[in-house]
Amino acid sequence: MQIVCSLLGGVCSPDELRGSGFHSAFCVALPLSALPDCADFRARNCSQVAEACAGRGFSFTNIPLQEIPGPHLRVCPQGNTCCTQEMEDAFGQQSKLDFDHLLEETTETLRTTFVSRHERFDEFFLELLENTERSLHEMFQKTYGKPYLQNAEVFVNLFAELKRYYTGGNVNLEEMLNDFWSQLLERMFMLLNSQYVITEDYLECIIKYADQLKPFGDVPKKLKVQVTRAFIAARTFVQGLYVGREVAKRVSKVNGTPACLRVLTKMVYCPFCQGMPAVKPCKNYCLNVMKGCLANQADLNPEWNQYIDAMLLVAQRLEGPFNIESVMGPIDVKISEAIMILQDNSAEVSFRVFQGCGQPKPAGSTRSARGVSNVYSSRFRPYSPEERPTTAAGTSLDRLVIDIKEQLKLFKNFWSNLPEAICVEDKVTAGNVSEGECWNGHTKSRYFPEVVKDGLTSQVNNPEVDVDITRPDTIIRQQIMALRVVTNKLKNAYNGNDITFQDSSKNFPFLQKKQILDFFKPQKRLSNFCS
């Protein structure tokens, strides 16, 4: 009589069975003449291994035709085996590629989402600035004509500085806007008093009285609040998207440790050596392996979640009072309104300036104020909210922000969920098949150890991976710091406060390519600009 092993699908003697390492097989007795011998069975198993290896792209020259003793193995069980040392070494090298591929594949959606949303928001914002500047230029040219064209550089500089701030320049928004209104007051005062010679010193005197005069009414104050908080929110939000993109990219490139790759080899390829290439790892076994391999990534999760929450807060601002589209869309109307206020009160403003700064010298017969006020008699039509532009980026800001919010919510707990995402049924593991039908690291049987918790410190109890909990991964720690910095910036932006961009770039230098390193310099005043 021989003994049939239902696990192996072949026949072997009781002595051979005891030496095979498959002690849990269910066996029945059958007549010897009805069955092939044990050597045929082992040859068939190793033949299946050869086919499986070829299917995985391996090209081994000496795959055993039948099981051989395995004392040469350093990772897989050392009983009878279908693997040579060359095969096990190749499996180890492939495990590194497999780990990199698994991490790359599992984080692909995260990375591509942040890349696409960052690009869309950035494109939308820059195009919004261009459209707003073009609209102002066209309307002011039509309404004010030559006086506007002679002083258009004031508005060109305004938009250039707004763009420079958004793209990372060291621009103080409040100072820049104050400077804009000061320059506009100088130009307007000269236009309204063109019968006088206005010197550089006289212009400086006018600016000293600007706060008392309030020549543009409350428009500068209101617009400064609106523009400042909207630009802070928009710039910090797009910077946040960029940080998320870079963190995802860098973390997805973190290499597995030697201990991780060794255990990954054992999990994925040791079934080949045991003549079971089709048997996949038990799910809980895979989870323990991946929780050990991805322990540092899991430690990123708390900071990542706080970052996501902060991004969602700023997104709320962008949908509401800090909506950059609703601020920039009618900015031409608001500036025109300020010009009208000055024109309506030009006599009083000039009188008070003359009192404080003295009467300027007459310019002579070549200059006249006649007709100047008529230049400003046209008023812009009201700006309708329904006309908020849809740019070539394909959506209005509201719809764009809603889309980004929905995506951000999907990525909470992303890093702690990585092991579960990798150890899904049919992808890596045997899934929810019978507990005895999966590879447990030693044989085809049930996996008994409990799944450990997430994070580096929890791996002290990991039964599969030897993790040095005293040596956190440097790259992961850098990303944690980057997330902390940008989360702080986002929380401040939510409250309408700005933090110096260059200070934050020291903490995550990969943002330096977004910086413009030149510093804001106030535009020089030009005294003779009116004909």
Residue 394: per-residue pLDDT: 39
Let me know: does 273 contact 76? Beta carbons within 8 Å.
yes
pLDDT of residue 13: 38
Tell me, what's the pLDDT at 155?
97
Residue range 76-101: mean pLDDT, rounded: 92
- At 298 the pLDDT is 96
Query: pLDDT at position 386, please?
Result: 41
Q: Which of 54-63, 168-177, 408-417 has the lowest mean pLDDT?
A: 54-63
* Number of other CB atoms surrounding residue 470 within 10 Å: 7
Per-residue HEC secondary structure of 423-458 comes to CCECCCECCCCCHHHCECCCCECCCCCCCCCCCCHH
pLDDT of 426 above 80: no
Pick the range with the lowest mean pLDDT from 54-68, 279-293, 381-395: 381-395
Q: What is the DSSP letter of 26?
A: -
**pLDDT > 50? residue 475:** yes
Residue predicted with more confidence, 239 or 9 = 239
Instruction: Please give the Cα distance from 443 to 446 (Å, whole number).
Output: 9
Outline where DSSP puts E strands in 298-410: 361-362
Cα 396 from Cα 228, distance rounded (Å): 20
Q: What average pLDDT does this structure show over 482-501?
A: 89
pLDDT at 381 over 60: no
Residue 282 is predicted with a pLDDT of 92
Average pLDDT over residues 359-381: 54
Greater pLDDT, 16 or 357 = 357
Least confident of 58-67, 95-104, 121-130: 58-67
Residue 174 · residue 503 · CB < 8 Å: no
CA angle, corner 251, sides to 247 and 253, nearest 5?
Answer: 125
Distance of CA 111 to the CA centre of its chain: 7
Question: Where does the pLDDT of residue 60 fall: very low under 50, low under 70, confident under 90, or very high at 90 and above?
Answer: confident
Q: Please say if the pLDDT value at position 154 is more than 90.
A: yes
- What is the percentage of the chain residues whose pLDDT exceeds 90? 64
Identify the three-state secondary structure at position 27.
Answer: strand
**pLDDT value for 200:** 93
Task: Tell which wins on pLDDT, 365 or 226.
Answer: 226
- Cα–Cα dist 292/459, whole Å: 6
Model confidence band, residue 433 (pLDDT cutoffs 50, 70, 90)? low
What confidence score (pLDDT) does residue 316 get? 93
**Using CA atoms, how far apart are residues 162 and 184, in angstroms rounded to an integer?**
16
37 pLDDT higher than 60:
no
**Whether pLDDT at 95 is above 50:** yes
Which uninterrupted H or E stretch holds 32? none
What b-and-e string marks burial along 156-175, b requiring 16 or more CB atoms within 10 Å of the CB? ebbbbbbbbbbbbbebbbee
Q: What pLDDT does 47 receive?
A: 81
Residue 102's region, left for phi above 0, alpha for psi from -120 to 50, else beta, is alpha
Has residue 11 got a pLDDT over 80?
no
> What mean pLDDT comes out for the span 186-194?
92
More confident residue, 27 or 266: 266
Question: Do residues 294 and 254 make contact, with C-beta atoms less than 8 angstroms apart?
Answer: no
C-alpha distances out from residue 230 to 9, 315, 514, Å: 71, 11, 19
Q: What is the pLDDT of residue 45?
A: 66
* Residues facing residue 5 across a β-bridge: 10, 27
What are the C-alpha distances in Å from 483 to residues 310, 385, 409, 413, 480? 10, 36, 17, 14, 5
**Reported confidence tier of residue 158, pLDDT bands at 50, 70, 90:** very high
According to DSSP, the residues that pair with 240 across neighbouring strands are: none
Structure tokens belonging to residue 206: 């006018």
- 494-502 long-range contacts, CB within 8 A, separation 24+: 494/233, 494/310, 494/313, 494/314, 494/316, 494/317, 496/228, 496/229, 496/232, 496/233, 496/322, 497/232, 498/173, 498/228, 498/232, 498/236, 500/170, 501/168, 501/169, 501/170, 501/235, 501/239, 502/170
AA letter at 352: R
